[in-house]
Structure 1
Amino acid sequence: MFRTLRFATYTSLLALCGLASSASAAELNVVASFSIIADFAKNVGGDRVAISTLVGPDGDAHVYQPRPADAVSLEGADVVLVNGLQFEGFMSRLIETSGTKAAVVEVSKGVEPLNSAEEEQHHDGEAKAEAADSHDHDAAAEAEAGHNHGGFDPHAWQSIHNAEIYVKNIANAFCEADKAGCATYTANSEAYLVKLGALETEVKAAIDSIPAEQRTIITSHDAFGYFARDYGVKFIAPEGISTEAEASAADVAKLVDQVKEDKASAIFVENITNPRLVEQIAQETGLEVGGTLYSDALSGTDGPAPTYIDMFRYNVDTIRSAIVGG
């Protein structure tokens, strides 16, 4: 009898091992171009996906130089997630070098891109339609443009509404690549979208508590155009939408004059940029540096912004505290 029980137990363990092996084999291998997209993917994919990130926490995708290991990651991927809007200038050559057969998905597909020269203003309906029509969703084509963002502001994740579009695109991509897991991806994305909706309400309430005349602030580079559009904060920056080009002395002088004219309330460094320029501007304008904002990358797990929701909440709290205190 005991021998029979032992045999049955052994057989059951083999079956369980076989199921575990099968589940592991079914796991979706995903490569995300940078940390914010990786966090979206983790929330959608849950335990069914294995995610690697090319540009990690506190990394600057504008100037990132791929490593040989990145090509290996892409070669073994089932899905590659990129921002698009010509944000990842390194991506096209990397995809070509890797020879990957993975689906390359632009998660910004469907957003209304801001013109980089007018990122603090709404486009009218016709301009939006033209921008959408000209939006290149072939990720492989964007590398040849280098760090030229093609006239669009690529930092679309700085709008929670756009983040919701990213999440839906990721869920659709995972469902296409792993139909057996589609119900899981759909449920996970819907649960996460609820959290993003609650975050949007929280953010608007926090910004509304800042007097409108005090909502002009300075950051290192133009990463917050979508934030400005959606939440009514004016951002001034010495550098453009890419951190690759350094601000000239004339640019800094012009910004100092603008700060005095617009009566900026606070100035912030960014986690991905050298604080030296912001510290110089702070000294010349008499503003005190109000802290660090997370723009193009999350923090590490031991930092204040290890997830997208943490990042947005931390940025808003930091802005509010620097202007009105508390």
Structure 2
Amino acid sequence: MNPHRLLLSAAIPALMALSAMPASAQTLKVVASFTVLADVVKQVGGEHVKVTSLVGPNGDPHEFEPSPADAKNLNAAQLTFVSGEGLEGWMDRLITASGYKGKPVTVSEGIDVSTMEEDGEKITDPHVWNSPVNVKIWVANIEKALSAADPADAAAFRANAENYTKTLDALNAYAHAKFDKVADDRRKVLTSHDAFGYFGREYNVSFLAPLGLSTESEASAADVAKLIEQIKSEHVKAYFFENSNDPRLVKQVAKATGAEPGGELYVESLSDAKGPAPTYEKMFKYNVDQLAAAMAKSS
């Protein structure tokens, strides 16, 4: 028998098996704007997605400057996720530069957002992920978008979303168990900028900061002086700096008030794989533990 014919006859069943496989064999190429969001997309997408984060570990999503490599990754993406609410001010420029034809999915749609006055302007607080209650809405929006892009794997996305929602419920319960027993007058902390509004709203913790909602904002001497007086009068005992921005200003304020260092918080960026906050779940728990320990110390 012709050896070529023998090889062909052996290959036919394998080819038929491949053709019978569902279309879900493809892996969706997904881009997320920053590491916290990228991790949540991975939790919902599982093995069916390959997620690239534009802003890397320990990076600041406010002051991010996209590179040609970021434009290339975005252009190749089948699906793109942003948090929205003004966080990714650089995204429109990157979309134009990259030639990306899709429309990013805004995962924060449906969240009860907070607004505040800053420099005479009403702006939305974009840091919604610092409450796991809000991240549940992210998860629902991510599942919907992934299922629309890859209907064959919709059941897997739904199962992953349900499991991860249970994880988020457990994180919320964990934080309440830590903070609900702390006296109200001890739930006060000094941080670098106003990134913990939703955390504070959920767990009744007051966060004081020299900078506003964006790390791009600047604090005036009068604002800093006013903050120092407030910290002294309210007896705020601990300060924290953030992994993704400059700690010098908060350290200056702390020095003027006598506040003690509580450590580093992961606010809008995960750590690298070797750090204490490589996933959203670990980031949130780590922050809760750091804050609760500082409050217990000051009691």
User: Does the residue aligned with 1:239 lie in a helix, a strand or coil?
Assistant: coil
- The amino acid across from 2:199 in the alignment is F
CA distance in 1, matches of 2:6, 2:276: 53
Task: Indicate the residue corresponding to 1:134 in structure 2.
Answer: none
Question: Does the aligned pair in 2 maintain the 1:113–1:156 contact within 8 Å?
Answer: yes
Call closer, same or farther: CA 1:56–1:18 in 2, change over 3 Å.
farther
Rate the CA distance shift 1:295–1:17 in 2: closer, same or farther, 3 A.
same
Give me the TM-score of the superposition, normalised by structure 1. 0.84
Change (3 A) 1:269 1:214: same
Over the residues paired in the alignment, what is the CA RMSD in angstroms?
2.5
Corresponding letter in the other structure for 1:258: Q
Residues 284-303 of structure 1: matches in 2 within 5 Å?
284-303=256-275
- Structure 1, unaligned runs of 5 or more: 119-147
Contact 2:38–2:52 (CA under 8 A) maintained in structure 1: yes
TM-score between both structures, scaled by the size of structure 2: 0.91
CA 1:79/1:260 → structure 2, altered by over 3 Å: closer, same or farther? same
Mark the CA change 1:71 to 1:19 in structure 2 (over 3 Å): closer, same or farther. farther
1:275 pairs with 247, 253, 273, which one?
A: 247
Deviation at 1:283, TM superposition (A): 1.1
Runs of 4+ in 1 over 4 A off after TM superposition: 3-24
Partners of 2:18 and 2:152 lie apart in 1 by 20
The aligned amino acid for 2:156 is T
Q: Measure the CA separation in 2 of the matches of 1:17 and 1:103.
A: 33
How many angstroms does 1:225 deviate by?
Answer: 0.5
Mapped to 2, the partners of 1:284 and 1:15 lie a distance apart of: 74
Structure 2: state its 5+ residue gaps. none
What's the counterpart of residue 95 of structure 2? 95
Residues 19/254 of structure 1: CA separation in 2 closer, same or farther (3 Å cut):
farther
Residue 175 (structure 1) aligns with: 147
Percentage of identical aligned residues: 45
CA distance in 2, matches of 1:305, 1:220: 18
Match of 1:33 in 2: 33
Give, in angstroms, the shift of residue 101 of structure 1: 2.2
Q: 1:8 to 1:64 in 2, by over 3 A?
A: same
Rounded to whole Å, the distance in 2 between the matches of 1:32 and 1:19 is 32
Give 1:115-264 correspondences, 5 Å limit.
115-117=115-117, 151-264=123-236
Q: Check the 8 A contact 1:78/1:101 in 2, yes or no.
A: no
Conserved 8 A contact 1:61-1:296: yes
Q: Partner residue of 1:109?
A: 109
Indicate if the aligned counterparts of 1:28 and 1:49 stay in contact, CA closer than 8 A.
yes
Corresponding position of 1:76: 76
Q: Quote the offset at 1:285 in angstroms.
A: 0.8
| Deviation by residue 1:230-269 (Cα, 9 ceiling, x = unmatched) | 1100000000000012323222211110101111131100
